[in-house]
Amino acid sequence: MYDVESKEIKIILLGESGTGKSNLVNICCNLTFNKNSASNISSTILEKKIKISNISYILKFWDTAGQEKFRSLNNIFIKDSKICIFVYDVTREETFKALEYWIKSVQEILGNEMILGLVANKIDLEQKVSKEKGEKLAEDIGAFFLETSAKNNNGEFSIFVEKLVNEFLVKCSIKGWEFIDKDYGGRITLSTDNHKKTKRKKCC
CB 60 within 8 A of CB 43: no
Predicted confidence at residue 119, as pLDDT, reads 97
Predicted confidence at residue 43, as pLDDT, reads 52
Predicted confidence at residue 69, as pLDDT, reads 54
Predicted confidence at residue 71, as pLDDT, reads 63
Average pLDDT over residues 113-139: 95
Give the pLDDT confidence of 148-195 residue by residue, as tens digits. 998 887 789 999 999 999 999 988 877 666 654 443 333 333 322 333
Predicted confidence at residue 56, as pLDDT, reads 87
Q: Where are the beta strands (DSSP E) in 6-54?
A: 7-14, 44-52
Average pLDDT over residues 4-33: 82
**For 71, how many CA atoms within 13 A lie in the half-sphere containing its CB?**
14
Query: Side chain identity at 175, as an amino acid letter?
Result: K
**Domain boundary assignment for the chain:** 7-200
* Helix intervals (H) in 6-124: 21-30, 71-78, 93-97, 99-110
Predicted confidence at residue 88, as pLDDT, reads 97
DSSP element (H, E) containing 171: helix 156-175
Average pLDDT over residues 194-198: 35
**For 169, how many CA atoms within 13 A lie in the half-sphere containing its CB?**
19
pLDDT confidence bin for 74, thresholds 50/70/90: low
Pairing of strands 187-190, 197-200: antiparallel
pLDDT over threshold 90, residue 123: yes
Choosing among 3.40.920.10, 3.30.470.20, 3.40.50.300, 3.10.20.90, the CATH entry for 7-200 is: 3.40.50.300
Predicted confidence at residue 2, as pLDDT, reads 39
Q: What is the pTM of this model?
A: 0.78
Predicted confidence at residue 52, as pLDDT, reads 85
